[in-house]
Structures are given as C-alpha cells and as structure tokens.
C-alpha cells in the first residue's frame, strides 16, 4: 500500500531537472563554487551543524526531514494552520507549500535535483541558470565572513563572532530552492508562492533546519537573510520563524522564548547583508538577457522563445560565465566584449 500512497501524493517533478544536471556539470564556475562550499562546510566547528549541512548539500539522496510521512490530510491541516495565521492565501496551491519530491510522503522523501543544479532565483532574476544556487551561496557565505573581517579590521581585532553561523546560515537560507525552483522541460522554472510575506523557499529552508534539530541561535541567524530584526522589522522575522515551526511541526517556543525574538546580534545583520547582492545581480541578469537575445542569432539560435535557446544558449552561457561577469565586461566593452567572451563555447 505504501508505494501507491507515495504515488498518489506525489506532486509534480520538474521535467527539465535532468537537463539542468548536464548544464551545471559542464560549468567550471559552478564546479568551483561547489568546491568552495565544500571547504566552507569542512570549516564548521560544531559537529552537528557540519554534519547536517554536509548531508543537505552534498547528498542528493538526503532525507527532507520536514516532509517525512506527510499525507494529503496532514498537508491540508498544515496549510490550514498557515491560513489561520494569515501566512498563506486560500488561493495558494498546496503544491506551492509542498513542491514535489522524489518518494514524496515516504519516511525519506528526497530532492528532485541535486543542490548543484538548482538556480539561485526565479526565471529572469538573479542566478537563474543551472548551478546558480551554488554560485549564489558560495558568494554569500564568503560575504558574511568578510563583513565580520571588516568589523574586526575597523573596530578591533579582538572582536569575536560565531563563525559557524556566518558560514552555514547563508548555505542553508536558499537550500529549499532545490525543490521550489525545479526546471520545466522548456527551461523555465516552477513558480514560487509567498509564505508569511516572503518567498516560500525562505520559510521552507527554516522548517527543514528546525526539523533537523539545528540550534536556536543558528535558526535565528538563518531567519534574518531577507531582513535584519531591527528598526521595526522584528515582527517580520518572528512571523517567518512561526510559519516555519508550523511546517516543521515543532514547538515555536523553542525558537521564540516567551514569544519574542532573542536579542539582536551582529551575526543577524551580517547574514542579511551577505544575501543582498541583488542590487547588482538582478539588473545584471535583466541586461544580459537582453544582450544575449540580440547576440543569439550569431550563434545559430534564431528563436529566443524556443527551449533550445534556453538550454543550449542562455543557460549554458550564464552557467559558464555568470550574468555578473558578463555585465561587467559589457559595462566596459559593450556587446562586442560579451560576444567575444562567450564565443569560446561555440567554436
């Protein structure tokens, strides 16, 4: 009976996930980012945090703990709890809260694609190509540490920060994009809903970290990626934690003692700042999408609406070079500089 139940409950799996694997595997940028992430993980001192982070990122068969044993009835019940708190809309599809996993509903549902092939954001936004998540998170993890180093350089070398959370919180923050942003056959991505006023991946990643028993201090820093809990934003962060606790089916008081956030720490702000590369990375993608469409006919891709354009040109180019690199080249040398850079892929 269990296989039938799993089949019955299974939500859609991205038809293009396998093609994304091939694109990311051929990208030196994505592979170097994954190696950097491996080194970051190895630098985590807390054995439990290191183990859980390594398992979540390195193991394509990792069990998604927050989704284990969920039935159609239990999913609806969790959705109703979110709805009662105003965290989701009645119009939101259940699949937006519970995107498809392999062996969904079983004791060990696992990811529909490896961490290293997921995009860093939705279609047309930052790092929206196979492997973009790894590039994005490698940059963010290093950035969080760099903010701490900057504070030490200016305000005193004796200042101490919790290195483990600075390394691991940026890696965990976007982890759920592995199933939120799956690939359709045409190279577009699944649509994402919001939960508690923030993109769903943020709350889903928090729920997974809670379900795996990561410590309260870590959860608090992870929750701050989209905004720091200061200057009137405290309720937003607390709501994200409350929504995640519902989905993880854990007692929220474990993370919000007496119903309130713990005191603000510098690490909360460093994590928020480390995720804020979008002022450049989003316009870089928008501009490069325009430039690539104009250059595509020179490389044999006449129809930018065709799936071959996405898989064999756009995704391949951006996965290999990144929109950020091409944007800087374009800023200095125009479309000709971009054309010269990407021509090496089509010789």
Would you state the pLDDT for residue 347?
86
* CA 202 vs CA 18, 170, 254, 274, 275: distances in Å: 24, 11, 19, 15, 12
Inform me whether the pLDDT recorded for 1 exceeds 50: no
- Split at pLDDT 50, 70, 90, the class of 10 is low
Considering the chain, what is the average pLDDT of its residues?
95
What is the average pLDDT across 253-271?
95
Burial class (CB in 10 A: 0-12, 13-18, 19+), 106: buried
Contact status, residue 121 vs residue 202, Cβ threshold 8 Å: no
Mapped onto helix, strand or coil, the DSSP state of residue 195 is strand
Where are the alpha helices (H) located in the chain, listed in sequence order? Answer: 2-9, 17-25, 28-42, 47-58, 72-84, 94-97, 132-155, 163-173, 177-180, 200-211, 216-222, 234-248, 266-274, 278-295, 307-308, 315-321, 323-342
For residue 18, the tally of other CB atoms under 10 A from its CB is: 11
Please indicate, yes or no, whether the overall pTM of this predicted structure exceeds 0.75: yes
Are 266 and 334 in the same domain? Answer: no
Would you state the pLDDT for residue 8?
39
Are 323 and 229 in the same domain? Answer: no
Contact status, residue 23 vs residue 319, Cβ threshold 8 Å: yes
Contacts of 345 (CB under 8 A, 6+ apart): 316, 317, 320
**pLDDT per residue over 93-144, tens digit each?**
999 999 999 999 999 999 999 999 999 999 999 999 999 999 999 999 999 9
Would you state the pLDDT for residue 296?
97
What is the average pLDDT across 302-316?
95
Inform me whether the pLDDT recorded for 2 exceeds 80: no
Are 284 and 206 in the same domain? Answer: no
**pLDDT per residue over 132-178, tens digit each?**
999 999 999 999 999 999 999 999 999 999 999 999 999 999 999 99
What is the average pLDDT across 208-219?
97
What is the average pLDDT across 261-265?
95
Would you state the pLDDT for residue 209?
98
What is the average pLDDT across 298-318?
95
Inform me whether the pLDDT recorded for 64 exceeds 90: yes
Are 316 and 211 in the same domain? Answer: no
**pLDDT per residue over 50-63, tens digit each?**
999 999 999 999 99
Are 126 and 51 in the same domain? Answer: yes
Are 80 and 15 in the same domain? Answer: yes
Are 203 and 181 in the same domain? Answer: yes
Contact status, residue 122 vs residue 189, Cβ threshold 8 Å: yes
Any idea which residue has 């694109």 for tokens? Answer: 23
Any idea which residue has 């701490």 for tokens? Answer: 148
Are 296 and 253 in the same domain? Answer: no
Are 267 and 304 in the same domain? Answer: no
> Which of residues 257, 274, 291 is at a domain's end?
274
> Which of residues 240, 274, 308 is at a domain's end?
274
**pLDDT per residue over 24-44, tens digit each?**
999 999 999 999 999 999 999
> Which of residues 256, 274, 292 is at a domain's end?
274
Would you state the pLDDT for residue 11?
81
**Spatial distance between the Cα atoms of 320 and 312, rounded to a whole number of angstroms:** 12
Q: Which domain holds residue 294?
A: 279-346
Number of domains in the chain: 2
Are 147 and 259 in the same domain? Answer: yes
């Amino acid at each position: 009976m269990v296989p039938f139940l799993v089949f019955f409950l299974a939500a859609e799996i991205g038809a293009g996930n396998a093609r994304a694997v091939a694109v990311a595997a051929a990208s030196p940028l994505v592979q170097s980012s994954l190696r950097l992430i491996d080194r970051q993980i190895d630098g985590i001192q807390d054995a439990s945090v290191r183990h859980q982070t390594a398992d979540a990122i390195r193991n394509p068969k990792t069990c998604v703990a927050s989704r284990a044993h969920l039935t159609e009835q239990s999913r609806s019940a969790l959705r109703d709890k979110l709805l009662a708190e105003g965290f989701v809309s009645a119009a939101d599809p259940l699949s937006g809260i519970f995107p498809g996993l392999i062996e969904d509903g079983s004791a060990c549902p696992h990811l529909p694609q490896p961490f290293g092939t997921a995009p860093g954001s939705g279609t047309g936004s930052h790092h929206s190509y196979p492997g973009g998540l790894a590039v994005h998170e490698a940059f963010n993890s290093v950035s969080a540490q760099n903010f701490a180093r900057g504070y030490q350089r200016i305000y005193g070398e004796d200042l101490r920060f919790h290195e483990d959370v600075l390394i691991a919180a940026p890696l965990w923050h976007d982890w759920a994009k592995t199933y939120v942003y799956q690939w359709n056959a045409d190279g577009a991505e699944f649509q994402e809903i919001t939960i508690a006023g923030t993109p769903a991946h943020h709350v889903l990643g928090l729920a997974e970290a809670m379900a795996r028993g990561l410590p309260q201090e870590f959860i608090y820093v992870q929750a701050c990626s989209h905004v720091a809990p200061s200057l009137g934003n405290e309720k937003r962060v607390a709501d994200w934690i409350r929504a995640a606790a519902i989905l993880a089916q854990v007692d929220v008081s474990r993370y919000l003692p007496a119903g309130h956030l713990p005191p603000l720490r510098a690490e909360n702000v460093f994590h928020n700042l480390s995720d804020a590369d979008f002022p450049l990375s989003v316009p870089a993608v928008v501009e490069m999408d325009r430039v690539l469409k104009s250059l595509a006919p020179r490389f044999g891709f006449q129809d930018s609406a065709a799936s071959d354009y996405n898989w064999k040109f756009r995704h391949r180019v951006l996965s290999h070079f990144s929109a950020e690199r091409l944007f800087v080249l374009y800023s200095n040398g125009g479309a000709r500089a971009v054309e010269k850079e990407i021509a090496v892929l089509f010789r």
